[in-house]
Structure 1
Amino acid sequence: MAFNNPDVFRSLLEIKNIDVRILEQEGFHIKGYLFKQADYHSMIIGSSNLTANALKKNI
């Protein structure tokens, strides 16, 4: 559907304290966030995309 601009996500690579990984594989849709603290880690995995492709055929 081409509603995201990959350049916006690539700009995240310029932020020093985060690790960004971009996969250029069609249909790959998972998003994960790992927050590291001194004494614990938190992880959020998910997506709010409710398009037909996201629900029926994306990885």
Structure 2
Amino acid sequence: MRAGINALTVAFVVGVLAGLLLTPDGRGWLRHPTLLLGGSAAASASPPSNSANGAVSRPW
């Protein structure tokens, strides 16, 4: 049972690495890893805060 699980784990890891190495997005991600793959990685970053003194803005 353990040998089968180990074989599946190795196959999964090899598949993920092959997918990263064989695609342009994957190779780019390996050069500059982010949480997300592709062009949407930079779009997911939150904008910088404009608050200089750390004051909390209230919506009311």
TM-score, normalized by length of structure 2? 0.29
Instruction: Flag the structure with higher strand content.
Output: 1
Which structure would you say has the larger RCO, counting Cα contacts within 8 Å and 6 or more residues apart? 1
Instruction: Flag the structure with higher helix content.
Output: 2
Structure showing greater radius of gyration is 2
